[in-house]
Structure 1
């Protein structure tokens, strides 16, 4: 669920120009989720979207 929240925060932030209130709020949320992931797992990128590994 936190991974989905981070993904939607990225999409939300992308809908604003850099420096706008919505962009900044989304960035703060992403940083908070990354810090939470690092605290829980030791991996700051734990909630980041990962590419599929299956061959095609």
Structure 2
């Protein structure tokens, strides 16, 4: 995988997380319970397992 493609993927994940955060703030939802495996305890339960796995690799 080329560096540019890798950086684009990282940016798209950041956008996804940002959009999700804004959505959660709008809904004023309570934080979800911790996901013991993931470094992203707040976001992880809302992501599909594949994306969660990819994020875990990157972080």
- TM (normalized to structure 1)? 0.43
